[in-house]
């Protein structure tokens, strides 16, 4: 059902649902890696801006993953293999 969430929040929460069964740190790492690999910079910037503004609707795991995004470059090992899709 539609949540009416802004697109980056909806897409981020889709990722949360698929990674949240992992241990928290692993889930945050996977989530951040996925966003680095597939999200265009303005989407990442919008997510970070929402976090900085204190958007309370964001899932804590998404907020935790965003900390890794601030670190910048993607891990080369993560893009060594083709990712498709």
Partner 1 sequence: MTTSEKSGPIAPAETDYGTPRVAAADTARVTVDGREVEVPAGTSVLRAAAEAGIEIPKLCATDSLTAFGSCRLCLVEVEGAKGTPASCTTPCSDGMVVSTRTEQVQDLRRNVMELYLSDHPTDCDGCARGSCEMQKWARETGVAQVRYGLDGANHLHERTDESNPYFDYDPAACIVCSRCVRACSETQGTFALTVEGRGFDSRVSAGGTDFLHSECVSCGACVQACPTDALTERSVVQLGMPTRSVVTTCAYCGVGCSFKAEVQGSGADTRVVRMTPWKDGGANEGHSCVKGRFAYGYAGHEDRRLEPMVRASTDEEWRVVSWEEAIATVAEGFRRIQAEHGVGAVGGISSSRCTNEEVYVVQKMVRAAFGNNNVDTCARVCHSPTGYGLNHAFGTSAGTQDFRSVEQADVILLIGANPTDAHPVFGSRMKKRLRAGARIIVADPRRTDLVRSPHVEATHHLPVRPGTNVAFVNAMAHVIVSEGLLDEEFVRTRTEGADGYLEFIARPEHSPEATEDETGIPAGELRAAARLYAAGPNSAIYYGLGVTEHSQGSTMVMGMANLAMLTGNLGREGVGVNPLRGQNNVQGSCDMGSFPHELPGYRHVSRPEVRQVFESRWGVSIQPEPGLRIPNMFDAAIGGTFRGLYVQGEDIAQSDPNTQHVEAALRSMEMVVVQDLFLNETARFAHVFLPGTSFLEKDGTFTNAERRINRVRPVMPSRVGKDEWQVVCEVATAMGYPMSYASPAEIMDEIAATTPTFAGVSFARLDAEGSMQWPVTEAAPHGTPTMHVGKFVRGLGQLTPTVYVPTTERATRRFPLVLTTGRILSQYNVGAQTRRTPNSTWHPEDVLEIHPSDAELRGIRTGDVVELSSRVGATRLTALVSERMPAGVVYTTFHHPVTGANVVTTENSDWATNCPEYKVTAVQVTVATQASRARAGEAPEASATPVPAGAMARQRR
Choice between 54 and 84, CB closer to partner 1: 84
Stretch that binds partner 1, among 36-44, 47-55, 62-70 (CB under 8 A): 36-44
Q: How far is the CB of 2 from partner 1 (least distance, A)?
A: 6
Cβ-based burial of 49 (10 A; exposed 0-12, middle 13-18, buried ≥19): exposed
Using CA atoms, how far apart are residues 47 and 69, in angstroms rounded to an integer?
Answer: 10
Angle, CA of 10, 59 and 84, to the nearest 5°: 50
Q: Which of 25, 41, 53, 56 binds partner 1 (CB under 8 A)?
A: 41
Q: How far is the CB of 63 from partner 1 (least distance, A)?
A: 18
């Amino acid at each position: 059902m539609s949540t009416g969430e802004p697109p980056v929040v909806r897409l981020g929460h889709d990722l949360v649902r698929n990674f949240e069964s992992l241990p928290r740190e692993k889930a945050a790492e996977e989530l951040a890696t996925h966003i680095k690999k597939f999200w265009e910079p303005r989407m990442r910037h919008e997510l970070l801006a929402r976090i900085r503004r204190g958007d309370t609707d964001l899932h804590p795991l998404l907020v935790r993953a965003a900390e890794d995004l601030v670190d910048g470059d993607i891990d080369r090992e993560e893009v060594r293999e083709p990712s498709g899709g």
